Amino acid sequence: MLKVAIVGCGKIADSHASQIQRVKGCEIVGVCDREPLMAKQLYERFPVKQYFSDLTTLLSEAKPHVVHVITPPESHFDIAKICLEWGCHVYVEKPFAISESQARRLIALANERGLKVTAGHDDQFSHVARRMRTLVQSGFLGGAPVHMESYYCYELGRSGYAGALLSDKNHWVRRLPGKLLHNIISHGVARIAEYMTSASPQVLAYGFVSPLLRGLGESEIIDELRVIISDEERTTAYFTFSSQMRPALHQFRVYGPKNGLVLNQDQETLIKLRGPRYKSYVEKFLPPAMLAGQCLENLGTNLRRFLVKDFHMKSGMKYLIESFYRSIVEQTPVPIPYREILLTAKIMDAIFAQLPMEGSQPQQRLTSAVNTLVV
Amino acid sequence: MQSDTLLISPDDLILITGAAGFIGSRLVENLLDGGYRNLRCFARPSSAGGRIEALSDLHRDRARIEVFKGNLLSPEDCAAATKDVAVIFHLAAARGEKSFPDAFMNSVVTTRNLLEASLLHGCLLRFVNVSSFVVYTNMQKPTWRLLDESCPIEKHPAQRGDAYCFAKVKQEEIVTEYGKKFGLPYVIVRPGYVYGPGNEGITGRVGIGTFGVFLHLGGSNRVPFTYVDNCADAIALAGLKQGVDGEVFNVVDDNLPSSRQFLRLYKRSVERFRSIYVPHALSYGLCYLWELYSKWSEGQLEPTFNRRIWHSYWKKSRYSNAKIKMRLGWMQKVATQDGFRRYFEACRRRVQSA
Ligand SMILES: NC(=O)c1ccc[n+]([C@@H]2O[C@H](COP(=O)([O-])OP(=O)(O)OC[C@H]3O[C@@H](n4cnc5c(N)ncnc54)[C@H](OP(=O)(O)O)[C@@H]3O)[C@@H](O)[C@H]2O)c1
């Protein structure tokens, strides 16, 4: 029986606990939070053996094989490091670490100790993402991707999360190098990283504070971001994060030399885009009919999955957890190659390094960045 | 109020948490109207503070109203806010929060911080914990029986599938624990559904609009309404009257309408919409099925509807305000008819501006 522990008992801990309990061959031996009441409430609601408010007590008493680190991002590195030093495999929620250098150090430590780590990029393991991966691997695109577009949006309104974040000048999100973006964009960036082959793509980023946030007196939380990523001039990608555009898309488009694919995360649909065109008016009538057919097919797939109780909102997380545990027990490769975790962190570092922080002029920066690229 | 039966004098410091909220802002008004001159209003920096600031301006010459900006999650803020306080009216809570950890954090961790801070100063005479009807289980009780303060509270609040219920039960637990362990003087107030301008939704006890059409689930049930000003009045009394430490008080108005009567009035006064009546046996069956499906599917659908929630929300019950009338001398100041008139007006304005 694989012994699992959870460190950090906030909102996302519920998803982890409920998906872990669906995975066979494991048990949650302990949960831990600096705030004992938070640890206790998770312990009371899920089948958990013990609760702790101190990390080393958890590690020494519950002796977990795997630890899920789901604390605020700025603590990921330190906590994951301690867990690795105690001989535990580690699942770290996104963003894996605050910087590429931190990510590199964690992976090196894991390798040194013969342990495994993974990042919480669970969106990449939803049913639809797995269908896309299978198609790409089967050669549907007709070669390496030529271009990709990843949209990862977030609806920020005047209340809720935005309200709390805007009013609290000490909110932990503000302490992250990429602030709000740092906490959100890794899912969308990781999708691009999966299909990039070079280890150091060029990154050109443009970000600004939306008029909505500016109107609320905010000057440092950038919530609009456009990025161009270029992989040695072979594969390119656009990444878009927006808090204001509607619909707030979570989409990934990938175009190969022959065909393309469009993944819609919210609706869990995958649409195949045919490269070749039909002649004359046939192009106007047949493809729309085929598109309608594809939509129906997606509907059927989703319904079927739902009926066989395999369509949970967090099914990607369950799949990732299951695959990670299997890689530990059966000594097989980890579900997310370390190359992808590092590349995601590297692209994010490059984005944040270019963003205007407090008071600088985004427009000037864009112009100079464009010049750099053109030259 | 007779001054010889009161716990504090008009100049003693009173702390109100959740002061910028729906009920909190009315409580501040109520205390000012009652002649209390030294109020500390706790609000988060993000709270809409306009109402308290307006009150503060209005009562500038007669009262000292301090708006304390902070977060009850911070023990330091709690320590500073509770200094020299004689009575705490604790209304802050995560109402409407769907996530269990968030609801818990902003209702229970906050309450613990406040209790700890109060012990630190040692000057507190009363801690009024504002709870809710959601804490009652209502399970092992025959239909139409009276739900009063003696009824049991939910033993397995996590199984209700409602983060707010879980948090409020745990909040009460921690208050009573501090009462027992440290002799902290507390009173618990459990309002029914508080309505009025500022809370214009239709309570789930009447029905739900989640599935595109309004499902009317309440039928002939009485709805435990209390108009916001009446509720604020009850909370104020619970903090000010002597000799009620450790007591629990339910707050509901007189002449409660049935769910059907309410819905008819709402449609006539605010807006027309289609609703489908779901008889009690059917709604019970559907809740049970949902519960079974949620379990069988390992949570593919969250257990939002289940038998516990049915018993709490949609089982026929009678309610009583006898205890609060007798022990605190509470009387319904705003008649139910007037309350609904003001509430429907606010609803109409909201519908028009939408
Ligand atoms: N409304 C009802 O029908 C009803 C019925 C029964 C019982 N109650 C109880 O009555 C009390 C007041 O309810 P309400 O209807 O007035 O709700 P409300 O309008 O949502 O007010 C709750 C207040 O709590 C504040 N708060 C939440 N977390 C906080 C934190 N961490 N630190 C400081 N303040 C925090 C909120 O601040 P922000 O303004 O910054 O969000 C808000 O002002 C609650 O305890 C509720 O459970 C209400």
- SS3 annotation, A208-241: ECCHHHHHCCCCCCCCEEEEEEEECCCEEEEEEE
Q: Is A171 within the bounds of a domain?
A: yes
Best residue of B105, B107, B108 to probe chain A, by most A CBs closer than 10 Å: B105
Q: Do A18 and B299 count as a contact with CB atoms less than 8 A apart?
A: yes
Secondary structure in 3-state letters for chain B: CCHHHECCCCCCCEEEECCCCHHHHHHHHHHHHCCCCEEEEEECCCCCCHHHHHHHHHCCCCCEEEEEECCCCCHHHHHHHHCCCCEEEECCCCCCCCCHHHHHHHHHHHHHHHHHHHHHHCCCCEEEEECCHHHECCCCCCCCCEECCCCCECCCHHHHCCHHHHHHHHHHHHHHHHHHHHCCCEEEEEECEEEECCECCCCCCCEECCCCCEEECCCCCECCEEEHHHHHHHHHHHHHECCCCCCEEEECCCCCCEHHHHHHHHHHHCCCCCEEECCHHHHHHHHHHHHHHHHHCCCCCCCCCCHHHHHHHCCCCEECCHHHHHHHCCCCCCCHHHHHHHHHHHHHHHHHHC
Provide the ipTM: 0.94
Is the minimum distance from the CB of B165 to ligand 1 under 6 angstroms?
A: no
State the average pLDDT over residues B40-58: 82
State the average pLDDT over residues A243-271: 97
If we measure between CA atoms, which residue out of A219, A112, A117 comes closest to residue A169? A219
Out of A79, A98, A121, a domain closes at A121
Q: Is A361 within the bounds of a domain?
A: no
- Domain enclosing residue A44, as ranges: 2-121
pLDDT at B96: 87
Which chain B residue's Cα is nearest to A216? Answer: B46
Q: Facing residues of B226 across strands? A: B194
| Token pair recorded at residue A54 | 């101190």
CA distance B228 to B196: 6
Contacts of residue A10 in chain B, CB cutoff 8 Å?
101-102, 105
Taking the CB of residue A307, how many other CB atoms lie within 10 A of it?
11
Question: Smallest Cβ distance to A11: which of B46, B102, B170?
Answer: B102
Which of the two residues, B280 and B2, has the higher pLDDT score?
B280
Query: Which residues numbered 103-132 in A keep a CB inside 8 Å of some CB on B?
Result: none
B71 CA closest ligand 1 atom index: 32
Query: Are residue A246 and residue A134 in the same domain, yes or no?
Result: yes
pLDDT tens for each residue of B308-346:
999 999 999 999 999 999 999 999 999 999 999 999 999
Query: Are residue A7 and residue A151 in the same domain, yes or no?
Result: no
Best residue of B95, B166, B298 to probe chain A, by most A CBs closer than 10 Å: B298
Residue found under tokens 């304390």: B68
pLDDT tens for each residue of A197-251:
888 999 999 999 999 889 888 888 999 999 999 988 789 999 999 999 999 999 9
Q: Is A333 within the bounds of a domain?
A: no
Number of structural domains found in chain A = 2
| Token pair recorded at residue B195 | 């309505």
Query: Are residue A162 and residue A46 in the same domain, yes or no?
Result: no
Is the minimum distance from the CB of B256 to ligand 1 under 6 angstroms?
A: no
CA distance B30 to A181: 44
Strand ranges in chain A using DSSP code E only, listed in sequence order: 2-7, 26-32, 51-52, 66-69, 89-92, 117-119, 147-152, 202-208, 224-231, 235-242, 250-255, 260-264, 269-273
Question: Smallest Cβ distance to A38: which of B101, B298, B299?
Answer: B101
A117: CB partners within 8 A, 6+ apart: A80, A84, A89, A90, A91, A92, A106, A107, A110, A334, A338, A341
Q: Is A340 within the bounds of a domain?
A: no
A11 and B CB contact within 8 Å: yes
Out of A80, A99, A121, a domain closes at A121
CA distance A366 to A207: 9
Query: Are residue A89 and residue A175 in the same domain, yes or no?
Result: no
Query: Are residue A56 and residue A106 in the same domain, yes or no?
Result: yes
Pocket test for ligand 1, best of B22, B28, B202, B228 (most atoms within 8 A of CB): B22
Question: Smallest Cβ distance to A38: which of B109, B158, B166?
Answer: B109
Q: How far is CA A262 from CA A66, A148, A155, B248, in A?
A: 35, 10, 21, 58
Q: Facing residues of A250 across strands? A: A152
If we measure between CA atoms, which residue out of B45, B110, B108, B112 comes closest to residue B72? B110
**CATH number for A106:** 3.40.50.720
pLDDT at A218: 87
Does B172 have pLDDT greater than 50? Answer: yes
pLDDT tens for each residue of A2-35:
999 999 999 999 999 999 999 999 999 999 999 9
Query: Which residues numbered 263-322 in B keep a CB inside 8 Å of some CB on A?
Result: 296-300
Residues B297 and B207 sit within 8 Å (Cβ to Cβ): no
CA distance A87 to B30: 60
Residues B72 and B18 sit within 8 Å (Cβ to Cβ): no
Q: Do B300 and A311 count as a contact with CB atoms less than 8 A apart?
A: yes
Q: How far is CA A212 from CA A128, A220, A221, in A?
A: 33, 13, 11
A10 and B CB contact within 8 Å: yes
Which chain B residue's Cα is nearest to A309? Answer: B297
pLDDT at A159: 62
Out of A121, A137, A157, a domain closes at A121
**CATH number for A129:** 3.30.360.10
Best residue of A158, A174, A309 to probe chain B, by most B CBs closer than 10 Å: A309
CA distance A210 to A216: 10
Query: Are residue A155 and residue A280 in the same domain, yes or no?
Result: yes
Q: Is A35 within the bounds of a domain?
A: yes
B111: CB partners within 8 A, 6+ apart: B72, B90, B129, B171, B174, B175
* Residue nearest ligand 1's atom 12 by CA: B91
pLDDT at B70: 92
Query: Are residue A45 and residue A98 in the same domain, yes or no?
Result: yes
Contacts of residue B173 in chain A, CB cutoff 8 Å?
none
First-to-last CA distance in chain B?
A: 42
Q: How far, in whole angstroms, is CA B51 from its chain's centroid? A: 19
Q: Is A260 within the bounds of a domain?
A: yes
Residues B273 and B214 sit within 8 Å (Cβ to Cβ): yes
* Residue nearest ligand 1's atom 39 by CA: B47
Residue found under tokens 């049991």: B152
CA distance A113 to A116: 9
Q: Facing residues of A7 across strands? A: A32, A69
Query: Are residue A271 and residue A147 in the same domain, yes or no?
Result: yes
Q: Is A213 within the bounds of a domain?
A: yes
For the question of whether the overall pTM of this predicted structure is more than 0.90, the answer is yes
Question: In one letter, which amino acid is A156?
Answer: L
A309 and B CB contact within 8 Å: yes
Query: Are residue A147 and residue A284 in the same domain, yes or no?
Result: yes
| Token pair recorded at residue B106 | 């902003």
Query: Are residue A143 and residue A261 in the same domain, yes or no?
Result: yes
Mean pLDDT score across all residues of chain A: 93
Query: Does a cis peptide bond (omega within 30 degrees of 0) precede residue A95?
Result: yes
Query: Are residue A142 and residue A46 in the same domain, yes or no?
Result: no
State the average pLDDT over residues B59-80: 92
pLDDT tens for each residue of B187-244:
999 999 999 999 999 999 999 998 889 999 999 999 999 999 999 999 999 999 999 9
CA distance A342 to A357: 24
Query: Are residue A11 and residue A99 in the same domain, yes or no?
Result: yes
Q: Is A206 within the bounds of a domain?
A: yes
Does B1 have pLDDT greater than 70? Answer: no
State the average pLDDT over residues B13-22: 96
| Token pair recorded at residue A185 | 């964009």
